Chain A
């Protein structure tokens, strides 16, 4: 009971926030110059007034602004994401189409970065000041500082063009017709480069944070007590230091997890990965209002959901948080 009431409160707040975000998005996207009718007419290489008028009418852009806003909010409340006139498909279908590829990429990168980051952070903190620690922190700094875009292109050049070990594009071999295990293997081969490129950056962040946090907690009195009790180094690190040091990492992981569905525009672009990030970027360029608002809303919902989830994980990791609240 003590857990459920605050969560309900959070949920109500979350819904209000979400609605506010939706309205704000609507204003922002309409403030950008140009509209979908102008873009479509521009691409056609020819246009007359009749064409622009037809398009505006079909998109509902001939309505007064407050009417457009009103019908948008009403649709959102009914969980209707609308129709992409540009792509000729319901927005929800477009998003769901991209969801599997997006999740495969972002979840894999998330898991790689979180596990490796924490493990390496712990390892580095245990050898603080030694050569291996310096090596790990320097590497992490390098991964952290390298622009993702460049790292991605270099990965393709080295592993795909020069060595020919891994495919550089797409999420499966186009037209190979693999099924079952062969298909899974094929997807994994395609996944390695983009997932590691994306994962390395976050891994560096987690590693540095874990290491710093571990070192800080290791100075605290209860650690000294544990040592005085005669516990061994590894046990202290795992049961006492890590458990307390992990909270900031959980916070950060919660933030990253919120972006899982938003995709990763740069990585998806370089590796031609058909994810939501690209859908968002291309819809933005085309002023495909409904699609872009749909992606924004789903992303916002995910961020809020993971915020709530992060709070729950806090309670698991540190029961004192629930007790205080």
Chain B
């Protein structure tokens, strides 16, 4: 009987929880690390900028944690049968923060003029676009030259932020004075930025969805030291630690505190995947057997459990398991030092030292490089750690001056947007760390990547990507390490903080504080 009572109580509590009404008001303090160089999202697309500017600017679409598109500035949309015409119907009555109306003309200007000039990642997708036209004030039509499977995934705020035509048209975008006081359509307006201390956003009272946002104001706090950020959360100075803002061992400690919640959700769209670039051009890493030996030599579970405190998932290949068109049916590389030794023996590895370039993003990455070095030395590979700061890392990787180099990259929901760019020969370009840096060349697969990108039928695309993944994993162009998980840590009285696959990076309009 007592048991039954307890159960009834639990059910009642659960129901009450669901029915809990959102409360308006309050202030949220969120850590931003490092301090963003600027807040004009059309010009700068790094992580910290999007964290803050994702509240100020908006895209046409948002994406669920299952990566399904959902309304953003566009209320509804249609895609033609042939996959060539995308028609978007915009929300009525949307205004910019300065009061000017937001119209289809702004969409055309943003995509066709502004971002074509400033946004390298979107530019690659816009190459498929023939015309962008405003049919009337609230209707925009994108016409493609040829079908592009992932096109519906490029309307996220960081990929295609809407920028105001009336402010930027005819100006030099990079030096426009308004960049310092960004104007968007988002749920929060820019109020002030005390460099080195905080960025202050306030509620957009004229937001086009009644009742939203709930919060009155948001402060993004700049605290440069990782240990200090953890302490700031402990003392109640900040309420939210976005993924990656404290070291992993602090994550475990902080989430055990009373009234502290955490979620790994909100990164499905980005799906950061970590790997080591293995220089396919020269040295031992040019030999596929050496690269396979590295995969067998590494104890990736150990790193996940110890260095990452259990956060993350062991990847099977180039596509993260949460990204569309993932396939698990690929050759496996369990931790098997004997197999690694046999492969090294077979290729006649002479003990030549290989340089390992860690990612200069803090302690965790340092330790990770040390763990990999230890694993590799256990099978007889001589590794020398060749550390550099962020600028040095960028320089070395983009100039191909490394043997093995740590990195991680976002996948943006689709292999054609965030995966193939690291493996096709046409993306071997010196000068950028975000393309085929390892120098992997496989013309047969290149053709398959290209074909899969222009398919419109999902089942057909899945079959194509299944095949690609099976083949490329055999070649080990890079050593896949971990599907990273960056838990967002927050106080439990903050609700609905993460509601999409982009998490707190695309506007926290639904977040509210239980008083």
A279 to B298, CA, bound (A): 39
Q: Which residue in A48, A153, A157, A274 is a CB contact (below 8 Å) of B197?
A: A274
Question: Which residues on the A side are within 8 Å of B217 (C-beta)?
Answer: 175
Contact between A48 and B224, CB atoms less than 8 A apart: no
Q: 0/1 per residue, A150-194, Cβ < 8 Å to B?
A: 000100110011001001111100110000000000000000000
A167 to B120, CA, bound (A): 43
Contact between A42 and B433, CB atoms less than 8 A apart: yes
Residue A86 CB within 8 A of the other chain: yes
Contact between B35 and A88, CB atoms less than 8 A apart: no
Nearest Cβ on chain B to A156's Cβ, whole angstroms: 6
Residue with the greatest number of chain B CB neighbours at <10 A, chosen from A35, A88, A89, A171:
A88
Q: 0/1 per residue, A40-68, Cβ < 8 Å to B?
A: 11111111111110000010000000000
Question: Which residues on the A side are within 8 Å of B339 (C-beta)?
Answer: none
A89 to B174, CA, bound (A): 11
Question: Which residues on the B side are within 8 Å of A50 (C-beta)?
Answer: 120, 123
Minimum CB distance partner of A287 in chain B: B391
Contact between B121 and A45, CB atoms less than 8 A apart: yes
Residue B66 CB within 8 A of the other chain: no
Q: Which residue in B175, B225, B389, B392 is a CB contact (below 8 Å) of A272?
A: B225
Minimum CB distance partner of B49 in chain A: A43
Contacts A169-B223, A272-B225, A274-B194: A34 and B432 contacting too (C-beta < 8 A)? no
Question: Which residues on the A side are within 8 Å of B47 (C-beta)?
Answer: 43, 45
Nearest Cβ on chain B to A28's Cβ, whole angstroms: 14
Minimum CB distance partner of B421 in chain A: A46
Of B226-234, B307-315, B482-490, the segment with at least 4 beta carbons within 8 Å of chain A is B226-234
Contact between B391 and A88, CB atoms less than 8 A apart: no
Minimum CB distance partner of B236 in chain A: A164
Residue B200 CB within 8 A of the other chain: yes
Residue A318 CB within 8 A of the other chain: no
A51 to B234, CA, bound (A): 41
Q: Which residue in B174, B200, B391 is a CB contact (below 8 Å) of A175?
A: B200
Residue B410 CB within 8 A of the other chain: yes
Contact between B431 and A272, CB atoms less than 8 A apart: no
Residue B316 CB within 8 A of the other chain: no
* Chain A positions 78-114 with a Cβ under 8 Å from a chain B Cβ: 85-89, 94, 97-98, 101
Residue B366 CB within 8 A of the other chain: no
* Chain B positions 315-358 with a Cβ under 8 Å from a chain A Cβ: none
Q: Using C-beta atoms within 8 Å of the partner chain, give the interface range for chain A.
A: 35 or more
Of B37-45, B160-168, B261-269, B504-512, the segment with at least 4 beta carbons within 8 Å of chain A is B37-45
Q: Which residue in A51, A52, A168, A274 is a CB contact (below 8 Å) of B196?
A: A274
Contact between B44 and A44, CB atoms less than 8 A apart: yes
Question: Which residues on the A side are within 8 Å of B34 (C-beta)?
Answer: 282
Contact between A33 and B391, CB atoms less than 8 A apart: yes
Contacts A46-B434, A174-B29, A285-B389: A41 and B197 contacting too (C-beta < 8 A)? no
Residue A259 CB within 8 A of the other chain: no
Q: Which residue in B200, B222, B391 is a CB contact (below 8 Å) of A38?
A: B391
Residue A258 CB within 8 A of the other chain: no
Contact between A86 and B37, CB atoms less than 8 A apart: yes
Contact between B223 and A39, CB atoms less than 8 A apart: no
Q: Which residue in B38, B195, B395 is a CB contact (below 8 Å) of A97?
A: B195
A268 to B225, CA, bound (A): 9
**Additional 11 contacts, C-beta under 8 A, given A88-B38, A88-B175:** A32-B392, A34-B393, A42-B394, A43-B46, A47-B431, A48-B123, A88-B174, A161-B231, A168-B232, A168-B237, A175-B200
5 A-B pairs (CB sep. < 8 Å): A33-B391, A38-B395, A45-B46, A86-B38, A94-B195
Q: Enumerate chain B interface residues (CB-CB to A < 8 A).
A: 27, 29, 34-35, 37-38, 44-47, 120-121, 123-124, 174-175, 179-180, 194-198, 200, 217, 219, 221-225, 227-228, 231-232, 234-235, 237, 388-396, 398, 409-410, 421, 429, 431-434
Q: Enumerate chain A interface residues (CB-CB to B < 8 A).
A: 32-35, 38-52, 58, 85-89, 94, 97-98, 101, 153, 156-157, 160-161, 164, 167-171, 174-175, 268-275, 278-279, 282, 285-287
